[in-house]
Structure 1
Amino acid sequence: MNPAPPRRRDRPRLPAAVRRRQILDVTTRLIAERGFWGLSMQDVADDCGLTVPGLLHHVGTKDKLLVAVLEHRDDQDHQSLAEALGRPAGEVPLPEICDALVRRNAAQPEIVRLFAVLEAESLAPGHPAHDYFARRQQTTITTMTGLARAYGVPDPETLARQVMALMDGLQIQWLRDPGGIDLVATWTAAAGTLFR
């Protein structure tokens, strides 16, 4: 008896940019559900209609795929924020930028969950996103410090750290109880005190 031939995957030919976007979207969803350590390249390949070697052809390694997902999400968030503000971030007061960020995040809980899970996992120095999140945190604090300084705050770095801690903390509470916590309303109430 001859063994059954290997199953052939339906692999529609997609332009490279479209295929890469598909891979990033599938990976984003899977990481949000399982975390990076629960991510299987086989599952990503299956969901994209690819073989694992075909997937690796597009992304290189699992570690590179993770960083590509994070950078892709950052690019999308920056573009969305700029559109929501209607002018360059440097011309917008810090409270208004923070409000826009919170509103954006409230509309995409799966992405907020992705970043929360990965940020916690990446506290381990061996995690492939450890350096990415360290750089991201420093960049965020530096940017918010500059915005707070322009806002006339006497200790802008302290305010920047407080804003970041408040946003992160409220988002974790909201992710744990999305039906019980209104992220935007809770942020607005807290920001009234923070920016007073």
Structure 2
Amino acid sequence: MYRRDRARLPAAERRRQIVEVTTRLIAERGFWGLSMQDVADGCGLTVPGLLHHVGSKDGLLVAVLDRRDEEDMRSVFEQAPTSLRETCAALVRRNAAQPEIVRLFAVLEAESLTPDHPAHTYFSQRQQRTVEMLSELAEGEAEDPAALARQIVALMDGLQLQWLRYPESVDLVSEWDLASARLFVPVAEEGRTP
């Protein structure tokens, strides 16, 4: 049992601590193996104190997912990509450096296909936001920016699954570079037949 540290932290700092502890525990045990008591113990809180900050176990899961998205976007845009292709390459490099987080996301995204999963709405909205963002970046780079955006998501997700399953033989960054060379065809060449 952990000693309860009663030091009062500012709300934002306490929430950050809760998300970090939860992320670690989910990576170790999965969402269904996560106990609110373990998160509370890891933060020096009681379960009611923890619930004060996150509302519920479902709220805690969404907070973890939101934080991961924020950190990923900040990391990608710190690299100052100037095109859709560079933005995608930066995201793939980021993901290649954090296989446990990518695995966590892949599992949760698959589990959340069932409507009663606590992250069902989160992943549905995230998918829509991602396609919209990539579509905006694809304006002028493709005849059908939304189709290109969906293809990018499908390609990234598929390559990530192969990389997670066969890490010794699949290099995520190299595979992305090869595939993206075919995916990002200049608009003028799209109509040509090989």
Fold-level match, TM-score > 0.5?
yes
Task: Report the AA paired with residue 99 of structure 2.
Answer: P
Partner of 2:173: 184
Equivalent position to 1:126, from 108, 116, 136? 116
Unaligned runs of 5+ in 2: 186-194
Q: Is the 8 A contact 2:76 2:90 kept in 1?
A: yes
* Alignment correspondent of 2:95: 105
Alignment of 1:53-72 (within 5 A): 53-72=48-67
Quick check: 1:172 aligned with 2:166?
Answer: no
Provide the rounded CA distance (Å) in 1 between the counterparts of 2:172 and 2:8: 38
**Mapping of 1:4-83 within 5 angstroms?**
9-11=3-5, 13-15=7-9, 16-83=11-78
Partner deviation per Cα, 1:92-121 (whole Å, 9 max, x = no partner): 321111101101111111221221111111
- 101-110 vs 173-182, which moves further: 173-182
Equivalent position SS for 2:174:
helix
Q: Give the gaps of 5 or more residues in structure 1.
A: 1-6, 87-91
Structure 2 distance, partners of 1:124, 1:117, is 13
Q: Relative CO higher for 1 or 2, CA cutoff 8 Å, sep ≥ 6? A: 1
Which whole-Å deviations, capped at 9, do the CAs of 1:4-34 have from their partners, x for residues lacking one? xxx7824151523222211101111222233
User: What is the alpha-carbon distance in structure 2 between the residues aligned to residue 181 and residue 36 of structure 1?
Assistant: 27
Matched-pair contact (CA < 8 Å) for 2:40–2:46: yes
The alignment-based identity, stated in percent, is: 65
RMSD: 1.8
CA contact (8 A) 2:4 2:41 kept: no
**Secondary structure of 1:78's partner?**
helix
Matches within 5 A, 1:150-165: 150-151=140-141, 153-165=142-154
* Residues 171/8 of structure 1: CA separation in 2 closer, same or farther (3 Å cut): closer
For 1:172 and 1:32, the matched residues in 2 are separated by 17
Aligned-partner residue type, residue 42 of structure 1: Q
Name the CA distance, whole Å, in 2 between partners of 1:119 and 1:43: 23
Give the TM-score taking structure 1 as reference length: 0.86
CA deviation vs aligned residue, 1:139-186 (integer Å, no higher than 9, x gap): 1111112222232x1122221111100100111111122232211011
TM-score, normalised via structure 2 length? 0.87
* Aligned mates of 1:33, 1:124 — CA distance in 2: 23
Residue 171 of structure 1 aligns with an amino acid whose one-letter code is Q
Equivalent AA in structure 2 for residue 27 of structure 1: T
